[in-house]
Amino acid sequence: MLEAKIIDRGRGPEIAGTRITVYDVLDHYKEGWPAKEIAWLFHLSTDQVGAAVRYIEEHKGEVMEVYERILARHARGDPLELQAKLDAAHERLLTMVRQRRQAKTQENRDAGDSRGH
């Protein structure tokens, strides 16, 4: 089993060998969940949860500042430029679906004509 430690691969402090961040653990730790239940939820060992909790406590100011920014970002929803990209991608998908349906309809018509109908 991997050593229970916190690392940062560029996306914030996370439990080594996982993609679980200390902020994921913090959500439940703040609510008073026991380490055993947090471990079960994220498929971690209690040692890994303990490492996250220690990190949270040792870096409380920094962790809470970033956590509050995360919560604010989630409350705002997607930024306008991201939403515009999502809308454009969705429109491209709908256009592609319409084109495929039209092509399939034409194929069916052509198949019917070739059988003498």
Helix (H, G, I), strand (E, B) or coil at 32: coil
Q: Tell me, what CATH number does 19's domain have?
A: 1.10.10
86 with 70, same domain?
A: no
Task: Summarize pLDDT for 104-115 with one digit per residue, the tens.
Answer: 899 888 888 776
pTM beyond 0.85, yes or no:
no
Burial class (CB in 10 A: 0-12, 13-18, 19+), 41: middle
Range of the domain at 27: 6-76
Handedness of CA 105, 111, 112, 113 (dihedral sign): positive
**Distance between alpha carbon 94 and the CA centroid of its chain, in Å?**
24
Strands (E), the chain: 6-8, 13-15
Provide the number of structural domains found in the chain. Answer: 2
21 with 58, same domain?
A: yes
Decide if 49 contacts 25 (C-beta within 8 A): yes
Task: Summarize pLDDT for 9-50 with one digit per residue, the tens.
Answer: 888 899 999 999 999 999 999 999 999 999 999 999 999 999
72 with 83, same domain?
A: no
